[in-house]
Every structure is written in C-alpha cells, then in structure tokens.
Structure 1
C-alpha cells in the first residue's frame, strides 16, 4: 500500500501507522519490531510520568528499524527526539494553539498529521495544510467502546471531499481496510491489529 499525496512539495505520511496507547499498548517496543521499514509510529503516551523516557526508547528503536516517528501533541518533544513529524489532536487543531507546532513543521519540513472525527475537522486539516488526517473511528474499536462509527460509506464520501490523504483509524485491520471504498484510504493506523502488515 502506498500513499498517494497529490499536493506537490509536501511530505508523504506513512501508509501503516502503529499508534501507541498507555493502556492497550503500554510498551510499544515489541510491536515496533514487526513493522516494516518506512512504517510509522505515532507516540501518544500522553499521561504517563515516564513519557520522555518512553519517547527516547521509541525514537532510538525507530531510527534503528527505519521507522517514521510522529509525536502526538508536543512539537518540542518531537524536535528534541528528531522525529519526522507531529500529530495534533482534533481539539488542539480546532482551538488554534498551533503557532509553535506549525512553525516547527514548516521550518524543518516535517510531517503534520491531524486527528479528525468529522467533515468539519477534515476541512480544518486541509486549511492547515496537513500532510494527512487520521479519520476515526471508522469501525467499532476497543479504544472507544460504544462510540458511533463513521462506517465505510461515510468514510469514502468524506475522504473523496477532503482534499488531503486520509489514514483510517478505529477498528482497523487488513480485512476492514478492504471494506473501504477503493482509493479513499491512504493508509491505516491501529493499536493492536498491525501484525502481518
């Protein structure tokens, strides 16, 4: 699977993205060991006291395995680690607290990924010139039990109108990726279902 980024001059987001999670994947290092070179790791360990130590270990392994490291919500940590990009949660993108993150992304020519849960958020991501949006939850997911899902039809509609590459997140697996309308997903992100990618 490759990412089709049709906007010239921009970076290309990885088409396979492992998302770390303090509860479901407290130690992502083993999961990183099965990723192919060029896959991405989205470091989301927000609440742990050991985030900086975890981040350093993740960054070192990502370099050794030639993985693309994206740090969620903290462009300063991303810069310190030499990460390839930053991921902004939808709320942060919505409230406009972005000057530092956007400045770092543009000066250093790094990736900008933005979390989106609806069509309006995708519009904001496009306006911010994100390299990709993570659209979720596409299918039922253990991360957010009982949450309303986007589903394949709405995912396809929103992705076609988005104007930027869309990475599917939420209950994703190879089987679920095949259920999405052809050509609408630039990739998939998951916490627990990336084995064999």
Structure 2
C-alpha cells in the first residue's frame, strides 16, 4: 500500500511528545530532531502558569528548527496559546487552519475521528507496541495497527513504544510516527 499523503500542508513525519519524564532533556531532544519535525506539548504535570511558560519556551525552539508545536487540549485553547494545532480525542472543536492530532485506539474512535476531522487532521493511532506510558496495557501490535491504519481516511501517525527502527516496520502505511522515550536525548 502506498504511504498516505496529508492534504494541502504536509504534516511532520516525526513527532516528539512531551511528558514529565522527558521534560529535563527536551531542549536537547528538540535540537536532535530533523528539520520540520513536530512537538506535541502535554506537560499535564505542571500548574497552569508554569505550563504556559514552558510551552512558550519550547515553541520558540521547535519553530527555529522549522517545526510545529501542537498543544494537548482543544482547538480553542490551541488558538489562545498560538499553537500550530491541538492534540486529543476527536471532537476538539472548530479547527480551521490548525493541525489536529486525533487520538485513536480502536475502530469506534477512528470512526469518530473521521466524523470530526478538519482539513489538517491526522489519526494518531496507539499504542502500536508496549509502552512505559501505560505499563501492562494492551498494545495493538503491528497487524492490528495496520488494519486500523488501512481503514483510516486520515493521514496516520503511529504512537506507542515507537523508535526509529520500529517506524521502518510500518513506514508503508503511515504518514509518520511519534514517541516520548524513542526520541528523547
């Protein structure tokens, strides 16, 4: 199967996802990303003011590298923060012009993503492999991930236990991949 292509504006192929466990090395990790990569800013562990200050700092760094920053939250919040997009469950509100990374774990969520997607949306399907984010949780595995990816009407980004080597296993059916540990310095 040919690799899916996003709409008018190409989405980054590689996405670094922020987390409490990689926060201390994010600046180094961003510096190591290829030009034009994306950063998904979560930082749920920080209080609101500190979270906003950290977002602003990292936004400058990723944009200097020609990349984009997507905020965990809805489209309205992403606009207020001047993010390039939002990350979360499908149905995050009007997203015209924003990138929407819609989290998908099963067929029901994929259908919901299709119904609520804007023109710059992608299905972030996870977890492909076992991950430290959800210890002991069920991973989709390559076959189940591939089944969901082939049914997607949206570009597909793989998440969950991803590394550069593992991304090669699924490269033909994805637009990109995302990681916390797999891209942290």
- TM-score of the superposed pair, with normalisation by structure 2: 0.87
The equivalent position to 2:19 in structure 1, one of 15, 18, 21, is 21
The 4+ residue runs of structure 1 with deviation greater than 3 A are 74-77
Contact 1:139–1:170 under 8 Å retained in 2: yes
Name the structure 2 match of 1:147.
137
- CA distance in 2 between partners of 1:63 and 1:154 (Å): 34
Q: CA RMSD in A?
A: 2.0
Q: Give aligned pairs, total.
A: 178
Cα-to-partner distance string for 1:112-169 (whole Å, 9 max, x where unaligned): 1111111111111111125101111100111111110100011111111111111110
Cα-to-partner distance string for 1:83-116 (whole Å, 9 max, x where unaligned): 211112x3xx3xx5x3xx31xx21xx11111111
- Structure 2: gaps spanning 5 or more residues: none
Given the superposition, is the C-alpha separation of residues 37 and 189 from structure 1 closer, same or farther in structure 2, using an over 3 Å criterion?
same
Report the 3-state secondary structure (helix = DSSP H, G, I; strand = E; otherwise coil) of the residue aligned with 1:69. Answer: strand
- CA distance in 2 between partners of 1:158 and 1:143 (Å): 21
Name the structure 2 match of 1:123.
111
Is the counterpart of residue 163 in structure 1 residue 163 in structure 2? Answer: no
The 5-angstrom pairing of residues 51-90 of structure 1 reads: 51-88=51-88, 90=89
- TM-score of the superposed pair, with normalisation by structure 1: 0.82
- Structure 1: gaps spanning 5 or more residues: none
Name the structure 2 match of 1:33.
31
User: CA offset at residue 194 of structure 1?
Assistant: 2.4
